Copies of this chain bind each other. A is one copy, B any other.
Amino acid sequence: MSTTKLIYFPLKGVGEPIRWLLKYGNIEYEDILIGFDDWPKIKPTTPFGQIPLYEENGKKINESIAISRYLGKKVNLIGENDWENLEIDAIVDTINDLRLKLKKYGYEKDEKIKEQVKGPLFNEIRLKLKKYGYEKDEKIKEQVKGPLFNEILPYYMERMEKIAEANNGYLAINKLTWADFYFIGILDYFNYMAEMDILKGKPVLEKLREKVTNIPAIKEWIAVRPDTWYM
């Protein structure tokens, strides 16, 4: 019986890079999937109300990036010295900055939709006129996504493309590291939030995705991963 466990929702999200590192290292583990109905019961039992949690030999720990770094070392996807590891850590935290910006826009969008829909329609009517809500949705999405599409995403993706160009096609230190696993592993979630393929028109990053997703252990996992994990 496996003593290694990953506790997360049945989706990709920030848990997927952890799964990829475990698969890559051929580490046997249990994917414990928390349904959204069960989450309110489980949330108070977690260290800071968040998952993923990683468990090894009965010890549990939170924070997806910290866990990914730990596994990156275990499966030998790290640098050869401290400065190289600093370069890996810096690009991963930069990717996380982008995640928070994507999330922020998602959140603003939802708040604005709520306000606008709440105004003209009462609750019961709103439920009957879901179509109305959807129409509003598209309009507002465009409005709040302006800065995201015109400024933030191009800014980050242009710089990351250049970094990959300068690093032999990888995100750091000229070779495959857990930073590449982190980015390509979380990419479906980013694309879900952005509602587009953020690598479009970035050939070096597109090639990196191809390389990572064609690693046998990753390719195999993607083939059997539930289709219902839409994000």
Cβ-based interface call for A74 (8 A) = yes
Are B89 and A69 in touch, CB under 8 angstroms?
yes
- The contact string, 1 if C-beta is below 8 Å from chain B, for chain A 62-82, is 110111011001100000001
Within 8 A of B (CB), among A83-119: 83, 85-87, 89-90, 92-94, 97, 100
Cβ-based interface call for A47 (8 A) = yes
From B63, B69, B73, B159, A94 is in contact (CB under 8 Å) with: B63
Cβ-based interface call for A156 (8 A) = yes
CA distance A94 to B87 in the complex (A): 21
CB neighbours of A50 from chain B (8 A): 97
Interface size grouping (class) on chain A:
20 to 34
Beyond known contacts A67-B90, A100-B100: 13 more, CB 8 A cutoff? A48-B155, A48-B159, A49-B155, A56-B83, A59-B83, A61-B86, A61-B87, A66-B86, A66-B92, A66-B93, A70-B83, A70-B85, A70-B89
Can you list 10 A-B contacts with CB-CB less than 8 angstroms, sorted by A residue number? A47-B159, A48-B155, A50-B97, A63-B90, A66-B86, A66-B89, A66-B90, A70-B85, A70-B89, A100-B100
Binding site for B on A (CB under 8 A): 47-50, 56, 59, 61-63, 65-67, 69-70, 73-74, 82-83, 85-87, 89-90, 92-94, 97, 100, 155-156, 159
